[in-house]
Structure 1
């Protein structure tokens, strides 16, 4: 068991059987009373964020999370298959575990997977990925009724909003956190 002095950003705590990642922490020493640690925690599975306060010196259960590099291979219909880049072992994750990351996964794409006791928790994608537009309506010159954007489907099947001048076959950079169009790729 560790104490609150060991809390840092990115550390994973086990609270009531669930894993919580420390997003922010602050050691507070008021003029009156004992010191305490104020934390903002994010559930590693659900993404829920909560604030929690601990007395200074309180015991906390810090968990060891292993982040390893994998390569996305394919979706076999039942799950997403990844290959460990160090020992070439394959790992299958369900669609629920992959979550919204499935909208940005391309075959042979490197990803980082967080593991706890050999069980996958979540996928860390790069901040942006380059995807090709597979279908979009032709943009009409002077059509500004839709604020200059139109829907476009990228090669993963995900639909994003892009400027009117983009055409099918254009490669675009997409933000993996929000799904927003960031620009054309040359």
Structure 2
């Protein structure tokens, strides 16, 4: 789908210089002299490079729509992670590096969204929060009741995070998968 350069908005995915880019920041500029343009900061979806580009209203770019498919995480296999399409049960293998640090939060049967461009996986999105058990933490220190005090804890998946002083070993917590931070106790 073609669109004018001044219509690019934050979050749009475009094909530019024969590769895929996501618009990170957009700034419409109307100088006193000359024509208006859209100053766009782009991030390459495939390799993470950044690029600042000016798009005039007369220029056209191709807007790309990624296909999202729900997959279920099955198991690790060496340095690969195996996922199954929830609709047609086809399995795909993704490199652990592709998933990145978020791989630590994957659990058997977890539903994830995989984005594809021309049948090639581009990105993966885990649920915003997961429930994990505290494997190790320091004991509660009496009198340590300051509102913003936290102590280190190791979760059942091996990730270290900071938790409030009242949290003990064996408790189930809700953890944010984006940054590994403590949200609250699980019910």
- How does the TM-score come out when normalised to structure 2? 0.84
- 1:134 deviation in Å? 2.2
**Paired positions, count:** 185
Residue matched to 2:172: 171
Aligned partner of residue 34 in structure 1, secondary structure: coil
Residue matched to 1:155: 156
Residue deviations 1:39-96 (CA, integer Å, cap 9, x gap): 2323324445544321222132433321211111111223111111111111111011
Residue matched to 1:60: 61
CA contact (8 A) 2:6 2:37 kept: no
- 1:149 deviation in Å? 2.2
- 1:112 deviation in Å? 0.8
Is the aligned partner of 1:10 residue 2:6? no
Q: Distance in 2 between matches of 1:55 and 1:157?
A: 50
Residue matched to 2:21: 20
Q: Distance in 2 between matches of 1:57 and 1:184?
A: 54
Written as runs of structure 1 = structure 2, the 5 A alignment for 1:100-179 is: 100-142=101-143, 148-179=149-180
Name the Cα RMSD after superposition.
2.5
Aligned partner of residue 121 in structure 1, secondary structure: strand
Structure 2 unaligned blocks of 5 or more = none
Q: Distance in 2 between matches of 1:100 and 1:46?
A: 16
Alpha-carbon spacing, 1:16–1:181, altered in 2? closer, same or farther (3 Å): same
Written as runs of structure 1 = structure 2, the 5 A alignment for 1:94-105 is: 94-105=95-106
CA contact (8 A) 2:21 2:42 kept: yes
CA contact (8 A) 1:106 1:156 kept: no
Alpha-carbon spacing, 1:185–1:50, altered in 2? closer, same or farther (3 Å): farther
Alpha-carbon spacing, 1:53–1:149, altered in 2? closer, same or farther (3 Å): same
